[in-house]
């Protein structure tokens, strides 16, 4: 059993099953079904591996597989604000 996503404990078999039985054809579908790439590393390792598996199983080239894009916050938020600390400038 090959672990593809260590953060979410997703195996190669899980991905193949999702492709064959659930009809997943994109990384986005795998993400929604399996939580692929949603762990602390945000898919740095598993997304390229999953793209190769997806390409192999669907008969596509890896270059044809659309990779996930990162979506950082539009405006950075200071961590202290999230922690409930007062802003020094107030």
Please return the burial class of 63, using the count of CB atoms within 10 Å of its CB with bins 0-12, 13-18 and 19+: exposed
Cα 80 from Cα 31, distance rounded (Å): 30
pTM of the model: 0.74
Cα 12 from Cα 87, distance rounded (Å): 46
Cα 79 from Cα 83, distance rounded (Å): 6
> Does residue 60 contact residue 52 with C-beta atoms inside 8 Å?
no
Beta bridge partners of 11: 3
**42-63 confidence digits (pLDDT tens):** 888 999 999 999 999 999 999 9
Architecture of domain 3-64: Orthogonal Bundle (1.10)
Beta bridge partners of 10: 5
User: Would you kindly state where each structural domain of the chain is located, as residue ranges?
Assistant: 3-64
**60-90 confidence digits (pLDDT tens):** 999 999 886 666 666 777 888 888 866 555 5
Mean pLDDT, residues 33-43 taken together: 90
């Amino acid at each position: 059993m090959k672990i593809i996503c260590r953060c979410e404990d997703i195996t190669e078999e899980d991905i193949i099953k999702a492709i064959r039985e659930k009809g997943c054809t994109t990384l986005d579908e795998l993400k929604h079904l399996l939580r692929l790439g949603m762990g602390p590393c945000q898919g740095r390792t598993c997304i390229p591996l999953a793209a190769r598996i997806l390409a192999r199983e669907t008969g596509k080239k890896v270059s044809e597989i659309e990779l996930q894009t990162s979506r950082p916050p539009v405006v950075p938020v200071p961590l202290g604000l999230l922690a409930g600390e007062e802003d020094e400038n107030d």
